[in-house]
Amino acid sequence: MMNTKMEMPMSRYAAKVLLGSLWMLLFPLFLFGQKKTVSGTVRDDKGTLLPGVTVTVKNDKTGAATNDQGRFTISVAPGATLVFTYIGFENIEVKVDNRTEYTVKLKEKIGNLSDVVVVGYATQSRKDLTGAVGSVNMNDFAKAPVKSFDEALAGRVAGVVVASADGQPGAVANITIRGSGSITQITPRCT
């Protein structure tokens, strides 16, 4: 009987030691594993708000994007790193500290080698494009003494023909890309 009384206190003591040790090992995980919500705005060098900037947590699958006012909200662990990416701008990394509001400024990339070109149904990097690419400067359109977009486009890009179907003023224009004899002719309609 004396043995039984001695074992009871020892097993309680062992359980307390085991639970205490387990708590000491897991406490840092509870402390650092908790996420917090941070938010902020993203601007360019000139102070213009940037919509559509991708905000991700480095080495994690968590991500968000800025809204039309350049604001983002994301849930992160303390000490994580936020990565901001946007086409035409340099990527920037920001370490998360005790703040909950961040203001980020992105710098424009210098150089055009990695421009993105919209090809009608997808986007491609300019360096990966094998066909011809024509560009029109929108500032030139403002200088042209014309009343519509299709009239301003006429004669500015090689391979693009702008013609009215019936020749009447104000009629819908046909814009033919690559010429009418081309196998891969594209004829969009302007309305």
Per-residue pLDDT of the chain (191 residues; tens, 9 = 90+): 455 544 455 577 777 777 777 767 766 555 555 788 999 999 998 899 999 999 999 988 888 999 999 999 999 988 899 999 998 889 999 999 888 899 999 998 876 555 666 666 666 676 666 666 677 777 777 777 777 777 777 777 777 777 777 777 767 777 777 656 555 555 555 55
| In a shared domain, residues 101 and 138 | no
| In a shared domain, residues 140 and 79 | no
pTM over 0.75: no
| In a shared domain, residues 99 and 142 | no
DSSP secondary structure code for residue 37 in this structure:
E
Q: How many domains are contained in the chain?
A: 2
Distances (CA, A) of 8 to 3, 17, 19, 21: 9, 14, 17, 20
Single-letter code of the amino acid located at 53: V
Which structural domain, as residue segments, surrounds residue 173? Answer: 134-191
DSSP H or E stretch at residue 74: strand 71-76
Single-letter code of the amino acid located at 76: V
Tell me the sheet residues that pair with 64.
Answer: 55
In a domain, 70, yes or no: yes
Q: What whole-number distance in Å separates Cα of residue 130 and Cα of residue 127? A: 8
Q: Within a 10 A sphere around the Cβ of 46, how many other Cβ atoms?
A: 7
Of 105, 120, 148, which marks where a domain is finished?
105
Q: Helix, strand or coil for residue 134? A: coil
Look at residues 175, 178, 177 and name the one whose alpha carbon lies nearest to residue 189.
Answer: 175
The pairing of strands 101-105 and 36-43 is parallel
In a domain, 43, yes or no: yes
In a domain, 124, yes or no: no
